[in-house]
Amino acid sequence: MLRIKTKYLYVLVCFIALNKLFTQEVVTDIALSEKLDETSGLEMVNNTLITINDSGNKPVLFYLDKKGNILNERKLDCCKNNDWESLAADKNHIYIADFGNNYDTRKNLSIIKIPIQKSSNEIAEVINFSYPEQKKFKRIYRRSEYDAEALISFEDKLLIFTKNKRKKITEIYSLPKNAGNYQAKKIGSLNTDSIVTGGDYDKATNTLALTSTIKFDEYYVLIITDFSLNNKNQKIDMYEIPIGKTQVEAIKIIDPTTFWITSEDEKSSSAARLMKFKL
Protein backbone atom coordinates (compact mmCIF):
# COMPACT_ATOMS: atom_id res chain seq x y z
CA MET A 1 0.00 0.00 0.00
CA LEU A 2 1.31 3.48 -0.87
CA ARG A 3 2.01 5.60 2.23
CA ILE A 4 2.58 9.35 1.97
CA LYS A 5 3.49 11.53 4.93
CA THR A 6 0.92 14.21 5.73
CA LYS A 7 3.07 17.22 4.82
CA TYR A 8 4.04 15.67 1.49
CA LEU A 9 0.42 14.80 0.79
CA TYR A 10 -0.53 18.44 1.37
CA VAL A 11 2.15 19.62 -1.07
CA LEU A 12 0.97 17.06 -3.64
CA VAL A 13 -2.66 18.18 -3.33
CA CYS A 14 -1.65 21.83 -3.75
CA PHE A 15 0.43 20.97 -6.82
CA ILE A 16 -2.48 19.08 -8.41
CA ALA A 17 -4.86 21.97 -7.70
CA LEU A 18 -2.52 24.54 -9.21
CA ASN A 19 -1.84 22.34 -12.21
CA LYS A 20 -5.60 22.03 -12.83
CA LEU A 21 -6.04 25.80 -12.50
CA PHE A 22 -3.47 26.53 -15.19
CA THR A 23 -4.22 23.72 -17.65
CA GLN A 24 -5.49 26.10 -20.37
CA GLU A 25 -2.75 26.76 -22.88
CA VAL A 26 -1.97 27.89 -26.39
CA VAL A 27 -0.86 24.72 -28.17
CA THR A 28 -0.33 26.32 -31.61
CA ASP A 29 0.86 29.87 -32.28
CA ILE A 30 1.29 30.93 -35.93
CA ALA A 31 2.42 34.31 -37.26
CA LEU A 32 0.09 35.47 -40.03
CA SER A 33 0.79 37.45 -43.18
CA GLU A 34 0.94 41.22 -42.78
CA LYS A 35 -2.14 41.25 -45.02
CA LEU A 36 -4.02 40.09 -41.91
CA ASP A 37 -2.67 42.60 -39.40
CA GLU A 38 -6.22 43.56 -38.36
CA THR A 39 -7.83 40.13 -38.44
CA SER A 40 -11.19 40.44 -36.74
CA GLY A 41 -13.40 37.48 -37.61
CA LEU A 42 -13.02 33.73 -37.98
CA GLU A 43 -15.14 31.02 -39.58
CA MET A 44 -14.55 27.56 -41.05
CA VAL A 45 -16.09 26.25 -44.27
CA ASN A 46 -15.17 22.91 -45.84
CA ASN A 47 -12.28 22.52 -43.38
CA THR A 48 -10.81 25.87 -44.47
CA LEU A 49 -10.49 28.84 -42.13
CA ILE A 50 -11.84 32.21 -43.25
CA THR A 51 -10.92 35.58 -41.76
CA ILE A 52 -11.41 39.29 -42.46
CA ASN A 53 -9.81 42.59 -41.50
CA ASP A 54 -11.73 45.32 -39.72
CA SER A 55 -12.25 49.08 -40.10
CA GLY A 56 -11.10 50.75 -43.30
CA ASN A 57 -9.55 47.71 -44.95
CA LYS A 58 -10.52 46.23 -48.32
CA PRO A 59 -13.73 44.13 -48.51
CA VAL A 60 -11.91 40.80 -48.78
CA LEU A 61 -12.40 37.35 -47.25
CA PHE A 62 -9.12 35.49 -46.73
CA TYR A 63 -9.17 31.68 -46.90
CA LEU A 64 -6.44 30.00 -44.81
CA ASP A 65 -5.11 26.52 -44.24
CA LYS A 66 -4.44 25.37 -40.68
CA LYS A 67 -0.85 26.55 -40.94
CA GLY A 68 -2.04 30.11 -41.51
CA ASN A 69 -1.15 30.23 -45.21
CA ILE A 70 -3.44 32.32 -47.42
CA LEU A 71 -5.03 29.99 -49.98
CA ASN A 72 -7.42 32.42 -51.62
CA GLU A 73 -8.70 36.00 -51.44
CA ARG A 74 -12.39 36.62 -52.16
CA LYS A 75 -13.02 40.29 -52.90
CA LEU A 76 -16.56 41.66 -52.69
CA ASP A 77 -17.28 44.36 -55.26
CA CYS A 78 -20.72 45.03 -53.81
CA CYS A 79 -19.84 46.42 -50.45
CA LYS A 80 -17.52 48.66 -48.50
CA ASN A 81 -15.69 47.56 -45.38
CA ASN A 82 -16.87 50.24 -42.97
CA ASP A 83 -15.92 48.14 -39.96
CA TRP A 84 -16.17 44.39 -40.54
CA GLU A 85 -15.93 42.71 -37.14
CA SER A 86 -17.25 39.15 -37.26
CA LEU A 87 -18.13 36.17 -39.45
CA ALA A 88 -20.83 33.51 -39.16
CA ALA A 89 -22.01 30.74 -41.48
CA ASP A 90 -24.81 28.25 -41.97
CA LYS A 91 -25.25 25.47 -44.53
CA ASN A 92 -25.63 27.80 -47.49
CA HIS A 93 -24.34 31.27 -46.63
CA ILE A 94 -21.60 33.30 -45.00
CA TYR A 95 -22.57 36.38 -42.99
CA ILE A 96 -20.16 39.32 -42.67
CA ALA A 97 -20.91 41.65 -39.78
CA ASP A 98 -20.28 45.29 -40.71
CA PHE A 99 -21.38 46.55 -37.30
CA GLY A 100 -18.26 47.90 -35.60
CA ASN A 101 -19.42 51.04 -33.80
CA ASN A 102 -16.65 52.15 -31.44
CA TYR A 103 -18.18 55.50 -30.57
CA ASP A 104 -21.94 54.81 -30.95
CA THR A 105 -22.14 57.11 -33.98
CA ARG A 106 -22.92 54.78 -36.90
CA LYS A 107 -26.30 54.76 -38.62
CA ASN A 108 -25.33 52.33 -41.40
CA LEU A 109 -24.98 49.03 -39.54
CA SER A 110 -25.38 45.95 -41.70
CA ILE A 111 -24.70 42.27 -42.22
CA ILE A 112 -23.64 41.12 -45.67
CA LYS A 113 -24.95 37.73 -46.80
CA ILE A 114 -23.10 35.83 -49.53
CA PRO A 115 -23.25 32.25 -50.86
CA ILE A 116 -20.85 29.70 -49.38
CA GLN A 117 -19.51 28.98 -52.85
CA LYS A 118 -18.10 31.87 -54.86
CA SER A 119 -19.51 32.33 -58.36
CA SER A 120 -18.62 34.52 -61.34
CA ASN A 121 -21.81 36.58 -61.00
CA GLU A 122 -21.81 36.76 -57.24
CA ILE A 123 -24.75 38.61 -55.71
CA ALA A 124 -24.68 39.78 -52.11
CA GLU A 125 -27.71 40.48 -49.96
CA VAL A 126 -27.60 43.15 -47.26
CA ILE A 127 -29.36 43.02 -43.90
CA ASN A 128 -29.51 46.63 -42.69
CA PHE A 129 -30.40 47.22 -39.06
CA SER A 130 -30.46 49.58 -36.11
CA TYR A 131 -30.80 49.22 -32.34
CA PRO A 132 -34.23 50.58 -31.34
CA GLU A 133 -33.00 51.49 -27.85
CA GLN A 134 -30.32 53.82 -29.22
CA LYS A 135 -31.68 57.37 -29.33
CA LYS A 136 -28.45 59.38 -29.38
CA PHE A 137 -25.56 59.18 -31.84
CA LYS A 138 -23.20 61.61 -30.16
CA ARG A 139 -19.59 60.42 -30.05
CA ILE A 140 -18.88 58.45 -26.84
CA TYR A 141 -15.35 57.51 -25.83
CA ARG A 142 -14.73 54.24 -23.92
CA ARG A 143 -18.36 54.08 -22.73
CA SER A 144 -20.16 52.96 -25.89
CA GLU A 145 -23.09 50.55 -25.56
CA TYR A 146 -23.99 49.80 -29.18
CA ASP A 147 -20.70 48.51 -30.50
CA ALA A 148 -20.47 44.81 -31.43
CA GLU A 149 -17.82 42.30 -32.49
CA ALA A 150 -19.60 38.94 -32.18
CA LEU A 151 -22.15 37.37 -34.55
CA ILE A 152 -23.43 33.78 -34.64
CA SER A 153 -25.89 31.80 -36.74
CA PHE A 154 -28.45 30.26 -34.38
CA GLU A 155 -31.34 28.20 -35.71
CA ASP A 156 -33.16 30.39 -38.28
CA LYS A 157 -31.77 33.70 -37.06
CA LEU A 158 -28.62 35.72 -36.52
CA LEU A 159 -27.60 36.72 -33.00
CA ILE A 160 -25.50 39.78 -32.20
CA PHE A 161 -23.59 39.96 -28.91
CA THR A 162 -22.84 43.61 -28.13
CA LYS A 163 -19.59 45.03 -26.83
CA ASN A 164 -21.08 47.08 -24.00
CA LYS A 165 -18.17 49.02 -22.56
CA ARG A 166 -20.21 50.95 -20.03
CA LYS A 167 -21.96 48.03 -18.30
CA LYS A 168 -19.35 45.28 -18.92
CA ILE A 169 -22.12 42.97 -20.14
CA THR A 170 -23.21 41.71 -23.53
CA GLU A 171 -26.74 42.25 -24.79
CA ILE A 172 -28.14 39.76 -27.29
CA TYR A 173 -30.01 41.02 -30.36
CA SER A 174 -31.80 38.94 -32.97
CA LEU A 175 -32.12 39.53 -36.72
CA PRO A 176 -33.68 37.51 -39.55
CA LYS A 177 -31.38 36.06 -42.19
CA ASN A 178 -33.18 37.75 -45.07
CA ALA A 179 -32.16 40.99 -46.77
CA GLY A 180 -34.08 44.07 -45.69
CA ASN A 181 -34.21 46.93 -43.20
CA TYR A 182 -34.82 45.97 -39.60
CA GLN A 183 -34.78 47.05 -36.00
CA ALA A 184 -32.76 44.44 -34.15
CA LYS A 185 -34.77 42.74 -31.40
CA LYS A 186 -33.22 42.63 -27.94
CA ILE A 187 -33.84 39.14 -26.57
CA GLY A 188 -31.54 38.88 -23.56
CA SER A 189 -28.20 39.63 -21.99
CA LEU A 190 -25.27 37.86 -20.35
CA ASN A 191 -23.46 39.13 -17.28
CA THR A 192 -19.97 38.61 -18.69
CA ASP A 193 -18.17 41.03 -16.31
CA SER A 194 -16.08 41.90 -19.35
CA ILE A 195 -16.31 43.32 -22.87
CA VAL A 196 -17.12 40.78 -25.60
CA THR A 197 -14.81 40.89 -28.66
CA GLY A 198 -15.73 37.74 -30.62
CA GLY A 199 -18.03 34.74 -30.66
CA ASP A 200 -18.94 31.36 -32.12
CA TYR A 201 -21.63 28.74 -31.64
CA ASP A 202 -21.39 24.99 -32.25
CA LYS A 203 -24.78 23.43 -32.94
CA ALA A 204 -23.56 19.85 -32.51
CA THR A 205 -22.50 20.38 -28.89
CA ASN A 206 -24.73 23.39 -28.10
CA THR A 207 -21.64 25.33 -27.02
CA LEU A 208 -21.35 29.11 -27.09
CA ALA A 209 -17.84 30.55 -26.96
CA LEU A 210 -17.07 34.26 -26.59
CA THR A 211 -13.79 36.14 -26.32
CA SER A 212 -13.61 39.13 -24.04
CA THR A 213 -11.41 41.60 -22.21
CA ILE A 214 -11.64 43.76 -19.10
CA LYS A 215 -8.90 46.37 -19.51
CA PHE A 216 -7.62 45.53 -23.01
CA ASP A 217 -4.38 44.11 -21.64
CA GLU A 218 -5.62 40.54 -21.09
CA TYR A 219 -8.15 38.40 -22.94
CA TYR A 220 -10.47 35.56 -21.97
CA VAL A 221 -12.57 32.78 -23.44
CA LEU A 222 -16.09 32.54 -21.99
CA ILE A 223 -17.88 29.20 -22.36
CA ILE A 224 -21.56 28.32 -21.99
CA THR A 225 -21.89 24.56 -22.47
CA ASP A 226 -25.68 24.37 -22.77
CA PHE A 227 -26.63 27.62 -24.47
CA SER A 228 -30.30 28.55 -24.44
CA LEU A 229 -32.22 31.74 -25.12
CA ASN A 230 -34.76 30.67 -22.50
CA ASN A 231 -32.31 30.42 -19.60
CA LYS A 232 -31.68 33.84 -18.04
CA ASN A 233 -29.11 32.54 -15.52
CA GLN A 234 -26.72 30.57 -17.67
CA LYS A 235 -23.45 29.43 -16.14
CA ILE A 236 -20.44 31.10 -17.75
CA ASP A 237 -16.96 29.59 -17.35
CA MET A 238 -14.15 32.11 -17.85
CA TYR A 239 -10.60 31.19 -18.87
CA GLU A 240 -7.68 33.54 -19.35
CA ILE A 241 -5.81 33.17 -22.65
CA PRO A 242 -2.14 33.03 -21.57
CA ILE A 243 -0.61 35.20 -24.29
CA GLY A 244 -0.11 38.55 -22.59
CA LYS A 245 -1.19 41.88 -24.05
CA THR A 246 -2.64 41.52 -27.53
CA GLN A 247 -6.01 42.04 -29.25
CA VAL A 248 -8.13 38.89 -29.62
CA GLU A 249 -11.26 39.50 -31.70
CA ALA A 250 -12.24 36.11 -33.16
CA ILE A 251 -12.85 32.52 -32.12
CA LYS A 252 -13.87 29.27 -33.82
CA ILE A 253 -14.91 26.18 -31.87
CA ILE A 254 -13.08 22.95 -32.75
CA ASP A 255 -14.64 21.01 -29.87
CA PRO A 256 -15.95 22.12 -26.44
CA THR A 257 -12.39 22.38 -25.05
CA THR A 258 -10.38 23.41 -28.13
CA PHE A 259 -10.61 26.59 -30.20
CA TRP A 260 -8.98 28.55 -32.97
CA ILE A 261 -8.49 32.22 -32.11
CA THR A 262 -6.87 35.14 -33.93
CA SER A 263 -5.32 38.33 -32.64
CA GLU A 264 -4.35 41.53 -34.40
CA ASP A 265 -0.80 42.73 -34.87
CA GLU A 266 0.08 44.74 -31.76
CA LYS A 267 3.19 46.47 -30.45
CA SER A 268 3.59 43.56 -28.03
CA SER A 269 3.82 41.04 -30.91
CA SER A 270 5.64 40.84 -34.21
CA ALA A 271 2.61 39.87 -36.33
CA ALA A 272 -1.06 39.01 -36.28
CA ARG A 273 -1.50 35.49 -34.94
CA LEU A 274 -3.56 32.35 -35.47
CA MET A 275 -3.63 30.24 -32.31
CA LYS A 276 -5.11 26.99 -31.12
CA PHE A 277 -6.26 27.36 -27.53
CA LYS A 278 -7.04 24.40 -25.27
CA LEU A 279 -8.76 24.37 -21.88
The answer on pLDDT for 238 being more than 60 is: yes
The residue-averaged pLDDT of 213-220 equals 93
Cβ(270)–Cβ(31) below 8 Å: yes
Question: What band does 23 get if pLDDT is binned at 50, 70 and 90?
Answer: low
The residue-averaged pLDDT of 9-36 equals 65
The answer on pLDDT for 133 being more than 80 is: yes
The whole-model pTM stands at: 0.91
Where are the domains positioned within the chain?
A: 25-278
| SS3 annotation, 124-157 | CEEEEEECCCCCCCCCCCCCCCCCEEEEEEECCE
| SS3 annotation, 22-71 | CCCEEEEEEECCHHHCCEEEEEEECCEEEEEECCCCCCEEEEECCCCCEE
Nearest C-alpha neighbor of 260 from the set 235, 243, 237, 277: 277
Other CB atoms within 10 Å distance of the CB of residue 115: 13
Centroid of chain to Cα 234: 19
Of the listed ranges 18-27, 50-59, 140-149, 163-172, the least confidently predicted one is: 18-27
Per CATH, the homologous superfamily of domain 25-278 is TolB, C-terminal domain (2.120.10.30)
The residue-averaged pLDDT of 182-203 equals 97
The residue-averaged pLDDT of 167-183 equals 98
